[in-house]
Structure 1
């Protein structure tokens, strides 16, 4: 058998494997909805409606990210974007953390942008800084937080987002320089080597890509691939989130994270991960808990930890990154959130 034949055979196996993996996710989604409707018909209908609403609300951010990533790939501008995130690592991490705190991306909407940056060969340390900071706060979230929890709390949340990005970026930089995390993306999601080659051997971008047949095909292919990849994982995440909303009572969350002291900050950090629902919906919940006696530091830890590692975001990260990168992402989020809550509580106390 010739080398070309072997190459085609390998590509065929990879394509079949990809179809099978995608099919398994959709089968799992349908089975969950079917079993839910069988034992609780009302909740089955609500889960379906919840998932549809969540996908529609997330769609503008996802479409923008997917469109930008596909446009960058089709025009050849991905090398320019990647080089904007390269340079002195210390400076790039600081810039990425600051941009993350100002960006309008939610924890799921940032996923396609992160995938594109990693595939372009952008260093994981800078990407991790942006990845951790972005879901915690954005301009509209800041304004709403001021209205619900006050200027002081909103500012503390913004500083926590940037601080979490800096912390995560520099820890990741240390690990990568030690030789760890050399291939952050899962097999088939992206190829940092190809992206890195575009940085090493830059070519002028062709902004009007639609005038070239090959570039139009590349735009459509990359956009479709990313859309299908995100659709299956986010659908699964939102279905599971709908069940969590239905079967995890809000008063249980209140009783778990109520009270003051270091213990409440620690519990709020841990509970914030599985119990967190939505950045906007969580604000009145935290406001009510603080009025009932919860420490402000615990409220901040709950919001930061949940924002970064909410169920949809965690599932999307798991689908995108290798297990060791996922573990680092969760570990940094928990450690940084706990630290932010303790520092805010100490500052309030002082």
Structure 2
């Protein structure tokens, strides 16, 4: 085996590897280090704020981890495959419901979509699942309740399912006219962990603790989920502390506050490039709402960011043909704006 540290490219390779595997933690550490050098008081305050916020959300975090680990150990995510059987309109409804409620692993969503389309499942049903899936799942519901509130979590769940339903029906109507045939790019297959669940779904074993392999899966998933959520939430809470300290409330209120359509439209568009991660976005939106952001704008930001964030959009672009990609983006943005508007009207009622 070659020792990469002895080669000219060794240090560079090592740095790339460290950044790839620990970029979120390194980013948080870098922010705190820079603060310690240039603004020590803010460094202490940011560290205190992040720690206290993480402690406050700990009960919801533990429940969220348990849900994710239990889904992997029991095989509950195999239930998603059962949503894509039956009449087209029924499949749209079940696809939207599965997308909004299923604890499906993020690594499996794109292969799952490829598998469904390659197997001939109508694009309308797949689009319903595709649009709803990134917005909400049981773990996200629990954390949204803890970081924001229960009303916001319920509204976001309805937004996810509603966006899936509307998107699925729109695609169904377009497909009736002969459009959107052959949605996958050339060479995209139906492989991957998500595709396997559809091709050969396995039974769900709720008493997972009786099998050593499933207990091991539970432990592995719990550890990986804990590390994933902790590092993203620490970064988010650190950024939230800086946002609360450095961004005047009047600025947020002027740009994203109020009762008109402009704040919601602005949040919808800003959500695309500014969205970090579904879990990390929650504290940021909570901080913005404290600063004067309209609730409807917060909802629009979360929905638009979840579906059309740059990483998610890149994955869709790699998988689908340009017309399908364009439709996906258009449905996401209009749906996010509508969700924000409806939530704003509900908040004012």
User: Which TM class, normalised by the smaller chain length?
Assistant: 0.5 to 0.7
Q: Please report how far the alpha carbon of residue 52 of structure 1 lies from its aligned counterpart in structure 2 after TM superposition.
A: 10
CA deviation vs aligned residue, 1:242-298 (integer Å, no higher than 9, x gap): 9xxx9xx9678x957532231110000011011100111110100010011110000
Q: Distance in 2 between matches of 1:112 and 1:168?
A: 20
1:168-317 pair list within 5 angstroms: 168-190=167-189, 258-260=256-258, 261-317=260-316
Q: Distance in 1 between matches of 2:181 and 2:118?
A: 13
8 Å Cα contact 2:134-2:307 kept in structure 1:
yes
Q: Please report how far the alpha carbon of residue 181 of structure 1 lies from its aligned counterpart in structure 2 after TM superposition.
A: 0.7
1:132 aligns with 2:131: yes
Q: Please report how far the alpha carbon of residue 141 of structure 1 lies from its aligned counterpart in structure 2 after TM superposition.
A: 0.6
Cα gap change, 1:163/1:107 in structure 2, threshold over 3 Å: closer, same or farther? farther
Aligned to 1:16: none
Cα gap change, 1:317/1:99 in structure 2, threshold over 3 Å: closer, same or farther? same
Cα gap change, 1:128/1:45 in structure 2, threshold over 3 Å: closer, same or farther? same
DSSP-derived class of the 1:110 partner: helix
Q: Distance in 2 between matches of 1:90 and 1:48?
A: 42
Cα gap change, 1:206/1:151 in structure 2, threshold over 3 Å: closer, same or farther? closer
CA deviation vs aligned residue, 1:296-336 (integer Å, no higher than 9, x gap): 00000000110111121111110000011010001000000
Q: Please report how far the alpha carbon of residue 138 of structure 1 lies from its aligned counterpart in structure 2 after TM superposition.
A: 0.5
In the superposition, the TM-score normalised over structure 2's length comes to 0.61
Q: Distance in 1 between matches of 2:189 and 2:20?
A: 32
1:111 aligns with 2:149: no
Q: Please report how far the alpha carbon of residue 47 of structure 1 lies from its aligned counterpart in structure 2 after TM superposition.
A: 5.9
Cα gap change, 1:183/1:156 in structure 2, threshold over 3 Å: closer, same or farther? same
DSSP-derived class of the 2:257 partner: coil
Q: Please report how far the alpha carbon of residue 109 of structure 1 lies from its aligned counterpart in structure 2 after TM superposition.
A: 3.9
Q: Distance in 1 between matches of 2:310 and 2:107?
A: 10
In the superposition, the TM-score normalised over structure 1's length comes to 0.61
8 Å Cα contact 1:106-1:135 kept in structure 2:
no
DSSP-derived class of the 1:105 partner: coil
1:49 aligns with 2:22: yes
Q: Please report how far the alpha carbon of residue 94 of structure 1 lies from its aligned counterpart in structure 2 after TM superposition.
A: 0.7
Q: Distance in 2 between matches of 1:68 and 1:104?
A: 8
Aligned to 1:23: none
Q: Distance in 1 between matches of 2:257 and 2:301?
A: 13
DSSP-derived class of the 1:161 partner: helix
- Give 5+ residue unaligned stretches, structure 1: 1-33, 54-59, 73-80, 192-201, 208-241
Cα gap change, 1:343/1:206 in structure 2, threshold over 3 Å: closer, same or farther? closer
Q: Distance in 2 between matches of 1:293 and 1:271?
A: 16
8 Å Cα contact 2:256-2:264 kept in structure 1:
no
8 Å Cα contact 1:297-1:341 kept in structure 2:
yes
1:150 aligns with 2:149: yes
Q: Please report how far the alpha carbon of residue 111 of structure 1 lies from its aligned counterpart in structure 2 after TM superposition.
A: 0.9
Number of positions where the alignment pairs a residue of Structure 1 with one of Structure 2: 243
Q: Distance in 2 between matches of 1:172 and 1:206?
A: 26
DSSP-derived class of the 1:265 partner: helix
Q: Distance in 2 between matches of 1:342 and 1:206?
A: 39
- Give 5+ residue unaligned stretches, structure 2: 1-8, 27-67, 191-198, 203-234
